[in-house]
Amino acid sequence: MHLNEIPPLRLALILTSVIYIVFAQNAFTTYDLIEDNVISGLILPATLPIIFFVILLDLLMLFVKRSDCGDDTIKGHLSKVIFIEIALLITLTVRWWDYYASIFS
């Protein structure tokens, strides 16, 4: 599977997820709003649930499209994309778990 086989919006969602994975916060992160980066400290944690549910919605659409498709090559391609997005969801959850667990505990 090549990058040119993935539609642009889905590719943007995957790349956005990778950015969220790279800039994941740990549980003991504290911020000074004047000196620290507001994007990685405030905007990423606040918008992560939106990205998470957008990936879940995209997965739902992929499952529906795969179940309706009759061509085996397209089903194989959709299965690969489903695997990538499930792996991204698991990685996002693992990387951000400590941060959100410290907030809600």
**d(C-alpha 10, C-alpha 35), whole Å:** 34
Stronger pLDDT, 48 or 37, i.e. the higher one: 48
Minimal CA–CA distance to 30: which of 52, 45, 47, 49?
45
Q: What is the model's pLDDT at position 1?
A: 59
Query: pLDDT tens for residues 1-37?
Result: 566 778 889 999 999 999 999 988 877 777 666 666 7
The residue among 103, 13, 98 whose CA lies nearest residue 54 is: 13
Helix (H) or strand (E) holding 84: helix 72-104
pLDDT one-digit tens code per residue, 65-79: 999 988 888 898 899
Q: What is the pTM of this model?
A: 0.84
Give the pLDDT score at 97.
92
